[in-house]
Chain A
Amino acid sequence: MKKLLDLFSLSGKAAFVTGGAKGLGTCINEGLLEAGVSSLFFCGRGRHGSIEDEEKRLKEKFSNAQIKGFRCDISIEEQVKEIVKELKNFIKYLDILICNAGVTWAAPTSEQTMQSWSKVIDTNLTGSFLIIRDFSRELIKHNPNGGKIILISSLLALQGTATIPQIGYTASKAALLGLTRQLAVEWAPQIRVNSIVPSFFEGIDSMAKMFTTEGSPVREALLEMIPLRKFVNPSDLKAAICYLGSEASASITGQYLVLDGGISVK
């Protein structure tokens, strides 16, 4: 039997992170590399040179690992297929796939347009489907060690909000939980599929930043609302990724792990 801490090791593993050029993605990249991932790939839409910047940043920090960023709009089928093809030049199998790429559009539902709705659904939901479908078939399914897929959902998938309504985001993130459960059953035992349901982040360049940074007028009110009186920080996210991506969670599939300081049980 492995020692407890060895169960969490991702040593020698290959991982891919969507939306890995900024925000949560960069934090996930780091977490995977810190846990021992030896081949780390990520993709992003790559505006303003963010892919190159992130690749350079990671290479400086983790010089022993193979690191490569790709430009890809995951909502476009051809681009996803292209990434799979390119990736096969680097690895035979993928161990961990993190579907993190996401966009949102906040407005009252009555003012959401078909354009704002579709943009969010196409990237967050259909994009995740396309990546998962093609990566699983080409890179994960035959992995002799099995594979792990982690989808980044949101607390908004579980509870509504009157203050920052974003119906497309909510619908897409809730749908990802359904996708998680379906794939967990359909692809067991070869592939484990789980989700992470985070709430407000601090110290990560996410949408929540405007609420949680020091000096924000709502920061204190938000903290009051959270039983643990803290926002989710980068190491919380890294730890969750490491847990669900490693053998430490070997009997867990189809679940979501809620990182919310207790908001949803209050």
Chain B
Amino acid sequence: MNISQLFSLSDKTGLVTGGASGIGYSMAEGLLEAGAKLIICGRGRHGSLEAASNKLGQIGPEVVGLNCDVSSEENVKQLVKSLNEMSINIDILVNNAGVSWGHPTESLTLEKWKMVIDINLTGTFLMCREVITSFMLPRGTGGSIINISSVAGYKGGEYGVAAYNSSKAGVIGMTKQLAIEYASNGIRVNAIAPSWFPSYMSRYFTNEESPMRKTLENQNPMGRLGEPWELKGVVVFLASNASSYITGAVIPVDGGLMSQ
């Protein structure tokens, strides 16, 4: 296969959770630009889902935005039902939806802990289970699942982020388990571990005005934060046949942070 065929996603359909904003939006853009049909889902607050779908629709013709809170089993089942009704098959699942809550662990409330675990960890489980059982297994043509973990899954931090770091480490474990469990079904499961990227979620740290931003830049071997477009290449690589022999891998996209 020639190299542009290897990376091509034409004839594929990708679903990106949390695809309306932040790094999810960039990855959605990447899949579209590589030729995929695209579904984005999110909690759709403030009309963000519609705005994002319209904007992405200018890149590729087929973009569908669907409301879904991934931590709700009912929502996830409804999402899959809607996709089935529209005769949409999912070949690529990007589990990007995520939240964080910064607070010293000794006084982190159970409510905030659960909010993060439910979306980042349970949400990833529910999406994987439903997409595997509804699309990837019955069709027998396999698929590619890309879980968004974080360098926080590998490293601790001085700020209290116990729930976030636990959830992201959990996602790494789950990635390896699903990779092994479904390798013989042609379903590949990999993860991306980004470091700091500017987004709504990380705004307190990454905004231009944030006093923390300089520190984060200085801590990074490349001396800067990641830019959202820098996740496009890796997500297309993992989604496409270019990575057909890769499963269970976790790829850091971190300016070298994990290696120092």
Bound-state Cα–Cα, A157 to B152, Å: 16
The interface centre, meaning the residue of A108, A129, A132, A187 with most chain B CB atoms within 10 A of its CB, is A129
Q: Is A181 an interface residue (CB 8 A)?
A: yes
Contact A109 B152 (CB under 8 A): no
Q: Is B9 an interface residue (CB 8 A)?
A: no
Bound-state Cα–Cα, A137 to B108, Å: 11
Contact A129 B169 (CB under 8 A): no
- A165-192 vs B: 1/0 string, CB under 8 Å? 1011011111111110111111100000
Bound-state Cα–Cα, A184 to B183, Å: 35
Q: How many residues of B contact A (CB 8 A)?
A: 51
Contact B170 A109 (CB under 8 A): no
Contact B173 A129 (CB under 8 A): no
Bound-state Cα–Cα, A186 to B163, Å: 13
Contact A125 B105 (CB under 8 A): no
Bound-state Cα–Cα, A173 to B156, Å: 16
Contact B158 A162 (CB under 8 A): no
Q: Is B176 an interface residue (CB 8 A)?
A: yes
Residue of chain B at shortest CB distance from A114:
B73
Contact A170 B108 (CB under 8 A): no
Contact B108 A160 (CB under 8 A): no
Q: Is A251 an interface residue (CB 8 A)?
A: no
Known: A162-B184, A167-B177, A178-B153. 16 other contacts (CB 8 A): A109-B128, A109-B181, A129-B108, A129-B162, A132-B105, A141-B106, A160-B176, A162-B183, A167-B125, A167-B174, A173-B173, A175-B167, A178-B170, A185-B156, A186-B105, A187-B105
Residues on B close to A: CB < 8 A?
73, 104-108, 110, 113-114, 117, 121-122, 125-126, 128-129, 132-133, 137, 152-163, 165-174, 176-184, 248
